[in-house]
Amino acid sequence: MSAETAPAEAFDAVDVIRAKRDRHELTDPQIDWVIDAYTRGAVADEQMSALAMAILLNGMTHRETARWTTAMIASGERLDFSSLRSSSGGPRPTADKHSTGGVGDKITLPLAPLVAVFGVAVPQLSGRGLGHTGGTLDKLESIPGWRASLTNAEMMAQLNDVGAVVCAAGAGLAPADKKLYALRDVTGTVEAIPLIASSIMSKKIAEGTGALVLDVKVGSGAFMKDEESARELAQTMVALGQDAGVHTVALLTDMGTPLGLTAGNAIEVEESLEVLAGGGPEDVVGLTVRLAEEMLEGAGVQGDPAAALRDGRAMDVWRHMIAAQGGDPDAPLPVAKESDTVYAPADGVLVGLDALSVGVAAWRLGAGRARKEDAVQAGAGVRLHAKPGAVVRAGEPLMTLLTDTPERFSRAREALEGAVTIAPEGSRPAQRLILDRIA
């Protein structure tokens, strides 16, 4: 259609940009139009970039953020789980969890099957890693045969049969967010809290879950480095969820130190299997159980998640979940071809292990990607031998670096410079995994 015959737009993008630049509230019609027009291509990338920067600098009211989220949802389809049935024949409750991302955060892997043990359907739409934060789909793709992409019909069938699914979000779910997310990533506007909140919540609300638990990470390895910003983001997302009729709570959790003893892909699956077998690192088990309790409460279901890990019920669901997506739960996981050991520099108590440094090291070893199209190494990553609180001796292994390409070791070691803090014996690191609950 030529410019002469194209229908007139309801607004001018420049006027919308100026309004937010000059600290005015955007009206509901302006917001609806700009999201729709950007999705259609009637608003150019450079115009949306300017608007995103104005939002970053001047913020949005709750009404604006809520309307922005609603407009993002309206850009695509909404899933409906009302046809899911429980064992008694009644409607099956649904619950989901979203993490803002961190280092060693493999919680989704044991959590989804654990919650499904109690008859709650868990439609876990997950993503891939970018930079130092790992991606759930990258971890699961290290399992031979497992596939991330499912049709809506396949996802519904698996939820009915198994009770849990972890897969990629379909292209029809909030397409405006997919386009805007890529733009924010290259224009320095990722940190805008209204845009972060609407990005996460538009997909989660469109997904159609009845209850949602948000794991908002705080610390060096997290997106939000300080508790104040993380709290603001959590409060904004909880309010958006509640406005949409989704039972939503958030936990602020520490990401100053990596979760568990692994950061990578296959090695995080291996650690998740230890948790599902009733073992695993205390922090991973503790957070998995707490999130499961929150999801069950939101779904109105009672149960003992810790017992379901110990007695093997969660492992049974895991095996069915992996097999249903083409994976072989008994197949050996990929192992890196090369390894390099980092040793403790002194005697004492390990009181600091910087999550960002470990995450960047794992990324440089090949476990993560710099661009969305980059491939990852299934076996690459960092295996930790001590966590804060442990007594260490000079020359003892602190961590093992893993990769198929040994030329990566030097840059990974550079990332770890200053990552370890050792204090005299008797010192106690400040450790608090769950900082607060917001509901």
Q: Are 180 and 272 members of one domain? A: yes
* CATH number of the domain where residue 266 is located: 3.40.1030.10
pLDDT in tens, 9-63: 889 999 999 999 999 999 999 999 999 999 999 999 999 999 999 999 999 999 9
Q: What is the pLDDT of residue 159?
A: 96
Euclidean distance between CA atoms 183 and 187, whole angstroms:
6
CB 357 within 8 A of CB 384: no
Does the pLDDT value for residue 190 go beyond 90?
A: no
Euclidean distance between CA atoms 209 and 247, whole angstroms:
9
Domain boundary among 275, 301, 324: 324
In this prediction, residue 348 has a pLDDT band, given cuts at 50, 70 and 90, of very high
- Best CA proximity match to 327, nearest among 133, 137, 160, 99: 137
Alpha-carbon distances of 2 from 5, 30, 44, rounded to whole Å: 5, 25, 17
Considering 20, 97, 106, 184, which one is annotated as catalytic? 184
Instruction: Say if 261 falls within a structural domain.
Output: yes
Does the pLDDT value for residue 6 go beyond 60?
A: no
Q: Are 259 and 374 members of one domain? A: no
Does the pLDDT value for residue 7 go beyond 70?
A: no
Considering 199, 202, 220, 272, which one is annotated as catalytic? 199
Provide the number of structural domains found in the chain: 3
Q: 177 catalytic, yes or no? A: yes
Gap between the terminal Cα atoms of the chain: 49
pTM exceeding 0.85: yes
Edge-to-edge strand ranges of the sheet holding 262-264:
262-264, 381-384, 397-403, 338-343
Instruction: Say if 194 falls within a structural domain.
Output: yes
Q: What is the pLDDT of residue 368?
A: 85
Q: 63 catalytic, yes or no? A: no
pLDDT in tens, 250-298: 999 999 999 999 999 999 999 999 999 999 999 999 999 999 999 999 9
CB 197 within 8 A of CB 214: no
Q: Are 169 and 281 members of one domain? A: yes
Instruction: Say if 361 falls within a structural domain.
Output: yes
Q: Which residue has the higher pLDDT, 241 or 2?
A: 241
* CATH number of the domain where residue 42 is located: 1.20.970.10
Q: 199 catalytic, yes or no? A: yes
Considering 20, 67, 98, 231, which one is annotated as catalytic? 98
Domain that holds residue 44: 13-59
Q: 98 catalytic, yes or no? A: yes
The residue-averaged pLDDT of 415-438 equals 92
Considering 203, 217, 231, 313, which one is annotated as catalytic? 203
In this prediction, residue 1 has a pLDDT band, given cuts at 50, 70 and 90, of very low
Q: Which run of H or E residues covers position 348?
A: strand 348-353
What's the one-letter identity of residue 97? K
Alpha-carbon distances of 382 from 136, 150, 379, 414, rounded to whole Å: 16, 30, 10, 14
Q: Are 316 and 412 members of one domain? A: no
Q: 320 catalytic, yes or no? A: no
Q: What is the pLDDT of residue 130?
A: 67
Considering 177, 215, 254, 354, which one is annotated as catalytic? 177
Q: Are 133 and 258 members of one domain? A: yes
